[in-house]
Amino acid sequence: MLMRTDPFRELDRLAQQLTGVSGTWTRPSTMPMDAYREGEEYVIALDLPGVAKDAIDIDVERNMLTVKAERRPVAKADDVQMELSERPLGVFSRQLVLADTLDTERITADYDAGVLTLRIPIAERAKPRKIAIGGASERPQISG
């Protein structure tokens, strides 16, 4: 139902972990996700722990779904000295090409416990349907 658009994204993620460089608007980091079909809809769950709901942007243009988010540093008082900082900050992004069989007009999004869940219904035209078979006797007769 979807295709990854960047085959090198996993290499970028590993390089980011090794160098400790956070994502920027020009070179965002990836966000982990799960994608699966549940009944008559496709579900995409993206991990965004610590990201405020208003820092998430979801766009769909034709069949390209783009999710961008930014995890900002927590404001600290002047007398705070950071001892350890392992949680990544910066910009995160994910682009997915959605199949034509999905109804991009009816996507819904929920954000709970640091997980953004997108639900995309399967389009009616993509659902299986029965085709009635007519017989020769059911066709109108042309008299001449």
pLDDT in tens, the chain (144 residues): 555 555 565 666 566 555 554 565 556 678 899 999 999 999 999 999 989 999 999 999 989 999 999 988 777 788 888 787 777 788 899 999 999 899 999 999 999 999 999 999 998 877 777 888 988 765 565 665
- Backbone angle region of 100, left / alpha / beta, with phi > 0 → left and psi within -120 to 50 → alpha: alpha
pLDDT for the residue numbered 87? 76
The identity of residue 61, as a single letter, is E
pLDDT for the residue numbered 67? 96
pLDDT for the residue numbered 73? 77
pLDDT for the residue numbered 117? 98
| Dihedral sign, Cα of residue 90, residue 87, residue 116, residue 75 | negative
Task: Kindly state the tokens that stand for 16.
Answer: 């980011």
pLDDT for the residue numbered 12? 62
pLDDT for the residue numbered 85? 72
pLDDT for the residue numbered 106? 95
CA distances in angstroms from 129 to 90, 103, 132, 134, listed in the order given = 47, 17, 10, 16
pLDDT for the residue numbered 72? 82
